[in-house]
A and B are shown apart, each in its own frame.
Chain A
């Protein structure tokens, strides 16, 4: 479903990704780990099309199409979802109105009829329940005055509603206490249906105790330096990223 081939990308003339390869099949869960500054979040942004990143080399294929050629919203229509590390506020726009527009924009692109207010509300209530957010959150402005944990759960709620084919979770575990972490993990696990794929970007192994990945990739210095199964994450947790060598230790300290 997603094929990344020799991806090179830079921000403000600084090369962040230096020949990244990744192949994700339907239903797979891939964890991307790595030290700070390795390019983990950059990967999420490039895949979702955020401006300010320049791809100098390589290709990305998504459902057999050229992903890099699509507008941000087109990628979303094709089923790509990014759960943000730092979700931004949109004051005055209710979560409910925002998500209804969003769901219906995507349904329209798929040739489905838009959900009525009642149909949508039913789904939204269920999604709220799954991530243990009270229904008040539907009425409140998008992320307006939400705590860090509430924002992260709100992202998962959106993911559940949008039914994407590829979910990229950008440090959805950062800043969460253990209870919230479990809520987020349960939300994700409930969406694993054998077809939907996940890229889980995380700094720690902790989240992977709850969401069991099929593959773990260590990203360092703009490349995947090591891939393995879930046990690789445990190794990293024990030994740190020290095994990556001198080059990277410097970058980490920079």
Chain B
């Protein structure tokens, strides 16, 4: 096993190993019965099952969207297994000591030793392994502050009123094809509740990982920040290297009440497939925040993985003076395709939004920025600034930009700046003349290009993101 691991680790996709853990996995297929079984496995109350079934019926009436600038063979939703859980989870662990050591080793391989994180970083980690949340560390300290941070499956039992009230309130069941699918079959994810006036005492973190073959991961995250509260949430994603495509369709909902702030950072490194485009994760994600008066949401994402990325973290700026930010680095190489961006919906007065998007394309990849800035009729004095930069490495890749701007209020101001550049021969020559090898040179130039986004990331994430870019760029030149 360890030899295998070493071998897998020495390959280019560092997280591409498979863990040898006994799992309980449903046979592929999707119908009402599967949804009932998922619900039963989780011992869910009747209302939750009802909700899922309604979502399933919505989904059946919907068509898979085709407007994105990505191309892939039709997904056979019947060929996917919708539930997989490590067997040892059957009796749930109460603390780290009770967690299957093999599972913990998996996390260590990913660079997130839970013990270490617990002790050194002071980060609370909710690790989601396939469909079940393994363990939530640091719960006690958070409880003291009144913060709830637990698997959403647990929240359904423990805090049914909150879940009932907010689940689907930002991303409705029928919002889009993949959100409807997620609503029907979601298996786990995180639930966060920050009470009024509380500043969360630590950064919250979730690591997602897909282990089983042919399983989809449909995690569902719901974060509620009550009046005047603050929270910073980190999310990291990896998956083993497999020849088959795996589906990941997540939904993240953020509810940001008056004067509250949520900072949501993602480093996404799902397996991107090999050079010829075989395998890799299909990543279809719906992320949205609703901001009330004076509230602020900041989405920061570093997207380097997945064969296909379809993702638009958005802000509905409903309350007056609310602020939405989107900072994104999306890197594609090989045969990767990314269609990503944001939607800033300005409804309230004096709402403000900032969009900084950095797209880097290498190899034969295609990288698309798609963004909507909407100024509603009542958005007096609203402002948006968008900066959208693309960097091309080599001459076989593509960068595309589709900005949509709608303004229904004459006092609103929308600015859009865009640039496209190439890593120039002059820059490469300068770096090499100063002794840097070409790969180091490219990674340095690209890191510089992304600086405005990286500085928005929490410290430890910024370091990781820089390293990730370096690994991702290996072999992208020449």
| Interchain nearest-CB distance for B196 vs A (Å) | 40
Residues of A within 8 A of B347 (CB): none
- B338 smallest CB distance to A (angstroms): 21
Q: Complex: how many Å from CA A92 to CA B423? A: 13
Contact between A92 and B450, CB atoms less than 8 A apart:
yes
For the complex, is B426 an interface residue (Cβ under 8 Å from A)?
yes
Chain A residues contacting B447 (CB-CB under 8 Å) are 92-93
- B440 interfacial contact with A, CB 8 Å: yes
> Do A93 and B444 touch (CB < 8 A)?
yes
Provide the residues of chain A in CB contact with B429, threshold 8 Å.
50-51, 72, 88
A166 within 8 A of B: no
* CB–CB A92/B430 < 8 A: no
CA distance A49 to B303 in the complex (A): 36
Query: With A and B bound together, what is the CA distance between A75 and B444 in angstroms?
Result: 20
A243 to B432, CA, bound (A): 39
Inter-chain contacts of A49 with B (CB < 8 A): 432-433
* Contact partners of B432 in chain A: CB under 8 A: 49, 71-73, 76
Residues of B within 8 A of A162 (CB): 434-435
Nearest A residue to B452, CB-CB:
A92
Q: A91 at interface (Cβ–Cβ under 8 A)?
A: yes
A: interface residue count bin:
20 to 34
B408, chain A: closest CB distance, angstroms: 36
Considering the complex, which residues of chain B in the window 423-465 have a beta carbon less than 8 Å from any beta carbon of chain A? 424-427, 429-438, 440, 444-445, 447-452
Expressed in whole angstroms, the Cα–Cα distance for A31 and B426 within the complex equals 25
Residue pair A102, B434 in contact (C-beta under 8 Å): yes
Chain A residue at minimal CB-CB distance from B441: A73
For residues 207 through 248 of chain B, which have their beta carbon under 8 Å from a beta carbon of chain A? none
Bound Cα distance A102, B425 (Å): 18
- Contact, CB under 8 Å: B427 / A90: yes
A76 touches B448 (CB 8 A): no
**Interface pair A76/B433, CB less than 8 Å apart:** yes
With A51-B425, A93-B444 given, is the CB distance from A101 to B436 under 8 Å?
A: yes
Q: Which residues of A contact B435 (CB under 8 A)?
A: 73, 76-77, 102, 105-106, 109, 162
Q: Nearest chain B CB to A102's CB is how many angstroms away?
A: 4
Q: How far is the CB of A203 from chain B (nearest CB, A)?
A: 21
In the complex, A85→B387 CA distance in Å?
Answer: 32
In-complex Cβ contact of A90 among B438, B440, B445, B450 (8 A): B445
Q: Are A88 and B426 interface neighbours, CB within 8 A? A: yes
* Given A49-B433, A98-B431, 11 further pairs, Cβ under 8 A: A48-B433, A72-B429, A75-B433, A87-B430, A88-B426, A88-B430, A92-B450, A97-B444, A98-B434, A102-B435, A162-B434
Sample of 13 A–B contacts (CB below 8 Å): A51-B425, A73-B437, A76-B433, A76-B434, A76-B435, A84-B430, A88-B430, A90-B431, A90-B445, A102-B434, A102-B436, A106-B435, A162-B434
